[in-house]
Structure 1
Amino acid sequence: MHIDKKADIAETVLIAGDPRRTKWAAENLLTDYKLVSEVRNAFVYTGIYQNHKVSFATSGMGQPSIAIYATELFNDHNVQKIVRVGTCGTYNNDIKVGTVVEADQAFSEVNIFEPTKTGWQAQKPTLDLDAGVKVNVHCSDVFYRIAPLDVKTHHLDVVDMESYALFYLANHFNRKAATILTVTDNLNDHSNDMTADQREQATLDMYKNVLNKLFS
């Protein structure tokens, strides 16, 4: 198991890739929070936000990693909603660095769940938070891409590494999932990429936005 089986986890979970980001968000946004799982340093905190119980979890990077944590949250801990809160790079110059986006669809060129299927596969979120500009997300397992990618053919706006797997599992388990991302890098020219401090503040703002959408 990658999450403590005895962990007290809320039905609603916000999940980020970086455990330090999870910890920082819990310390700054939750009251009466507790560290309920720290297996492999993938921290999970449960606390209270405006009288609502909520958990902040950690997924690590990439589809295989988030698939492990989402499966255990849905299957072993009866989680009903998972919202991925993270960062992305933009392929689309009309989507500026600093923009908050919400996945309308996630596309992957590699289907890790059904490998016999070939070609690009798409998954849609099962929860609409209306928390950002709607975009098509390219969910890539390659961070430093060598082979060129024709993003226009597939109408791809931004890239992350987790959303496709999260949506696939939400559909499989009949649960709710969404992805909210801040654009931190322009992959065409890198002229105005966010600093580390800017990323952290943007992430905290996203957490607040998502929490307010969930519990308003």
Structure 2
Amino acid sequence: MNNTPTPHNGAKLGDIAKTVLMPGDPLRAKFLADTYLEDVVQYNSVRGMYGYTGTYKGKRVSVQGHGMGIPSIGIYTYELFNFYGVENIIRIGSAGAIDESLHIGDIVIGMGACTNSNYEDQYKLPGRFSAIASFDLVKKAADEAERLGYTYKVGNLLSSDTFYDDGQTLKDWQKMGVLAVEMEATALYMNAARAGKKALTICTISDCPFTGEATTAEERQTKFTQMMDVALSLIEE
């Protein structure tokens, strides 16, 4: 049975490449497609969540917005892995610094993702699941960031279900060595594990809660190009 198009994605089977780069912001997806890709075709605009396929240095790649939060990325990545034959998903997103040595524009490569979400409950596991990235993608991303001279760290992310949090909890995660907080990596890593596919999250620090540093929406949309450079280096044939 062909499950495409879906209620959330207007693409047909074959429209989407084996490797997909996924920002939360659909306008960042458009920016990446317009700036980096050749022979671009837009395959999705359902719910304003733009998706494009093109080529980068001769390699076919897609870029697809995924929205905010674990439920949203959970839907889009499940469909990409299980209905569209996607093999690799690289999330390129923004994150808030938990490690106080991180600053605006620094890159965090998410080797693992802690969470306060109950997303894993669906799997009925007899314990807790450690949501981790695919090692080969982590290694390649770190090697490329090193080669390009970008400031980066590799380590744990926190995928939070809350953006506005009544509790002051980030210091607790800081004590455990967590580098940054975002809202999606856990679901991406769990969906990839369940489907037997590969995934990675690369984030750019957009704000520092402990120092008050912050960026604008426009800067987050168009200025975070270093993580795009790294992600584009991971495209497989």
TM-score, with length taken from structure 2: 0.83
Q: Deviations over 1:58-96 (max 9, x none)?
A: 100000000000000001100000000011001111122
Instruction: Provide the identity percentage.
Output: 33
Structure with greater proportional helix content: 2
Amino acid aligned to 1:78: G
More deviation, 114-123/30-39: 114-123
* Superposed counterparts of 1:1-216, under 5 Å: 1=6, 2-6=8-12, 8-114=15-121, 122-126=130-134, 127-128=137-138, 129-130=141-142, 131=145, 132-149=152-169, 150-190=172-212, 192-214=213-235
CA RMSD of aligned residues (A): 2.2
Aligned counterparts of 1:120 and 1:189: Cα–Cα separation in 2:
33
Structure 1 residue 121 displacement after superposition: 5.5
Match of 2:121, SS state, is coil
Structure 1 residue 196 displacement after superposition: 3.7
More deviation, 4-13/20-29: 4-13
Residues 121, 175 of structure 1: alpha-carbon distance in 2 compared, 3 angstrom cutoff? closer
Match of 2:187, SS state, is helix
Q: Deviations over 1:4-58 (max 9, x none)?
A: 2515000000001111111111011111101011111111100010000000001
Consecutive unaligned residues in structure 2, runs of 5 or more: 1-5, 146-151
Residues 152, 206 of structure 1: alpha-carbon distance in 2 compared, 3 angstrom cutoff? closer
Structure 1 residue 213 displacement after superposition: 3.9
Consecutive unaligned residues in structure 1, runs of 5 or more: none
Match of 1:152, SS state, is helix
Kept in 2: contact 1:97–1:193 (CA 8 A): yes
Structure 1 residue 144 displacement after superposition: 0.7
Match of 2:174, SS state, is coil
Residues 5, 35 of structure 1: alpha-carbon distance in 2 compared, 3 angstrom cutoff? closer
Alignment size in residue pairs: 215
Match of 1:114, SS state, is helix
Amino acid aligned to 1:124: I
Match of 1:64, SS state, is helix
Aligned counterparts of 1:30 and 1:75: Cα–Cα separation in 2:
25
Amino acid aligned to 1:6: K
Q: Deviations over 1:170-197 (max 9, x none)?
A: 111010100001011111121x323344
Residues 159, 119 of structure 1: alpha-carbon distance in 2 compared, 3 angstrom cutoff? farther
TM-score, with length taken from structure 1: 0.91
Q: Deviations over 1:146-193 (max 9, x none)?
A: 112122343322000000000001111010100001011111121x32
Amino acid aligned to 1:64: P
